Amino acid sequence: MAAVAPTRAEVLSLFRSLLRTARQFSDYNIREYTRRRAADAFRENRALSDAPAAAAAFVDGKKQLEVAKRQAVVYSLYAPKAKNIMEMKLQ
């Protein structure tokens, strides 16, 4: 069975979902790491031209999205109450 490459709309939807999930983390470091990791992975796989490799990368991205969603829920239960220095406003 031949792997079908995902459409551009599906890929963009996955990317936006990863960015939305990253925003759910209350900690600055984890939020930025998740956002940066998603952007780096999509940038790395941008030049994939063969359908099986693109389909495999898309499936991997969906798995990573599920992991990030689970981690966001777990982290929200145990998030530290103190803000990170990057999140504090200058007075």
pTM of the entire predicted model? 0.83
Q: Which pLDDT score, from 0 to 100, does residue 89 have?
A: 67
Q: Residue 83: is its pLDDT beyond 80? A: no
As to burial, measured by CB atoms within 10 angstroms (0-12 exposed, 13-18 middle, 19+ buried), residue 3 is middle
pLDDT-based confidence at residue 55 (cuts at 50, 70, 90) = very high
Residues 18-40 have a mean pLDDT of 94
**pLDDT for 5-14, tens place per residue?**
899 999 999 9
Give exposure, 62-79, as e/b (b: 16+ Cβ within 10 Å): eebbeebeeebeebeeee
